[in-house]
Chains A and B, each alone.
Chain A
Amino acid sequence: MTDPRPPSGADDEHLRVALRAAALRLEAAGRLTPGTGGDLLRSIVETTAILFGAEAASIALHDPSTDRLVFEVAAGEQGQGVVGLAIEVGEGLAGYVYSTGQPIALADVAADARFGRATAEQTGYVPRSLIAVPLADDDGVLGVLEVLDKRGDGGFDLHDLELAGAFARQATVAIRSSRVERDAAALLRRVLADASEAEGGGDPGDVDAIVSDATLALDTGSDDPLWALADEIARLRAADPAQLDLVRELLAVLVRRAERGSGGRGFGGRR
């Protein structure tokens, strides 16, 4: 005894409200996680190059659709030639590190003529020394982080290898969370599609329209003070725990005042 009534205007409005709330949260999550996707990867390789005083650094991620490792980003002028290169898993140094999860450092790479030539043909750059570490966490290996040519002295030592490994682990956590965020956007889209289908088969174009409509409805302009606040909070990621505690306490006081009404009193209420 179902009631096959067509979607009413009220239901539609309800969906839009829920959608707007979800889109708003995703946008806020994006603001609070600075640098997602390509930006995040770029930031990781640039930080890596600085951390090791290296000429170049690069990230190759596993592409499940082709089962290959694709070099996504690189830092350093010398490193750019590798971007876009796709290699078989289990081949070459990056393939080995991806397959085994075992970090490796090589030196005198150019001294081995054949190794050097093969590398140069692919990337236009033959490093003297390099480190390759897995981008891995407990859920598996996402790809490989390579650091090329430490400036100054010779090659990389065991300490560098361990440092690179620990750094790569942190980077993996960041990459995974950015994927969660991206997946959340995809999930939202799918839920919408399901919902419109259940309501009598709206076409996918409708879904896109609803999503972009909801996103457009967001006031994400920089003139909204709340977004400025979100940006400030994102920058607090660099703060130490004690500083964060202080900020949290200060915010709690401010929030309580805001909830009580006009924020004019106290806190240097210069009005």
Chain B
Amino acid sequence: MTEPNAPTLSPAAGASLPAWAEAFARDHRAELRRVAPFATVDRAWAFGAGDGAGVTVAVIDSGVEGGHPALEGALAESVRVELEGEDTRVVPDEAIDAVGHGTACAGIIHSIAPRASIVSVRVLGSDNRGKGLAFAAGLDWAIGRGASVVNLSLSSRSEAMYATLHDLADRAYFANCLLVCAANNVAIASYPSLFAAVVSVAAHDDREADTWFYNPHPPVEFGARGLDVDVAWRDGGRIVATGNSFAAPHIAGLAARIRSAHPTATPFEVKTILAATANRP
């Protein structure tokens, strides 16, 4: 088995690396120092009246339960990726969620950017290669659909998908589409969360939704709320959940607000604004 384009952080290094979330733990935050003063970029300027209006956020996940009260009708469209052998097809889907996870992510985004329009792309499936293909097809569709923010609480560790996902991350960047990706909770290489063009997120150990940190030591650059989050879950329910996958939608919601307040901002600028307005360590 070959390992093409193995990244610097090889998967094999996983077990010995500190977990991605560690940089954001209270004891380690002194390390999150930055050079740029960003003096005039504050939260009032960054978010202004931005409430997500005019912004489409795609949630690539387990589906989104459109009728969930937490979403207040923000779900605009649902599709799913069908897989037959190596062929993928994106087809209209019911507004359902077989797990609850996608609904949780959509609910977090909606609570932060209430007027953002949410599009659900359901990609869960079996078989590692198949999963990667479905995931890539869903991402490709979301970029083409004109989503300006994409929330990816899942990622692929398949080396076979490395090049495909890298191309998609670049394509998103040049199409003015910001990918917000949860780092895996286990410190392993997973894609596209560790690509430079995306906004990668791990959880910090605070419980405030409006607290986020910027980490100048990549690959995981942002820490957001992911501990004991009260989230929407399937069948109209709610649950308390912990994991990096609940941190990513907090940043996706903030990005939607920035894009709504500053429609011409590029992914690079949105990332910079997120860093500038992050909590001081």
Where the two chains meet, the residues of A that have a C-beta atom closer than 8 Å to any C-beta of B are 62, 67, 88-93, 95-96, 98-109, 111-115, 133-134, 136, 138-141, 155-158, 161-162, 165-166, 168-170
- A-B residue pair count with CB separations less than 8 angstroms: 146
Q: In the complex, are the beta carbons of A100 and B240 less than 8 A apart?
A: no
Question: Would A100 and B124 be within 8 Å (CB), given that A107-B242, A115-B234, A170-B15 are in contact?
Answer: yes
The size of the chain B interface, using a CB distance under 8 A, is: 51
Given contacts A103-B185, A133-B186, 16 further A-B contacts (CB under 8 A): A89-B125, A91-B98, A92-B99, A95-B99, A100-B153, A100-B154, A101-B157, A102-B244, A106-B240, A138-B159, A139-B1, A155-B228, A157-B242, A158-B242, A162-B19, A162-B22
Partner of A106, one of B11, B15, B241, B244: B241
Tell me the B217-267 residues at the A interface (CB within 8 Å): 226-228, 233-245
Does chain A have a CB within 8 A of B203? yes
CB distance from A63 to the nearest CB of B (A): 10
Interface of B, helix, strand, loop or mixed by DSSP: loop
Tell me the minimal C-beta distance from B263 to chain A in angstroms.
Answer: 32
Q: Enumerate chain A residues within 8 angstroms of B125, measured Cβ to Cβ.
A: 89-90, 99
Using known A-B contacts A106-B240, A115-B237, A169-B14, determine if residue A161 contacts B124 with beta carbons closer than 8 Å: no
* A residues near B19, Cβ cutoff 8 Å: 162, 165-166
Taking a contact as CB atoms under 8 Å apart, the answer to whether A102 and B233 are in contact is no
**Closest 3 pairs (CB-CB, A-B):** A165-B186, A90-B124, A100-B154
Q: Which residues of B are interface residues toward A (Cβ below 8 A)?
A: 1, 11-12, 14-15, 19, 21-22, 62, 98-101, 124-128, 131, 153-159, 182, 184-188, 190, 203, 205, 226-228, 233-245
Do residues B228 and A107 form an inter-chain contact, with CB atoms below 8 A?
yes
Taking a contact as CB atoms under 8 Å apart, the answer to whether B240 and A155 are in contact is yes
Q: Bound state CA distance, A105 and B101, in angstroms?
A: 12
The docked-state distance in angstroms from the alpha carbon of A113 to that of B238 is 9
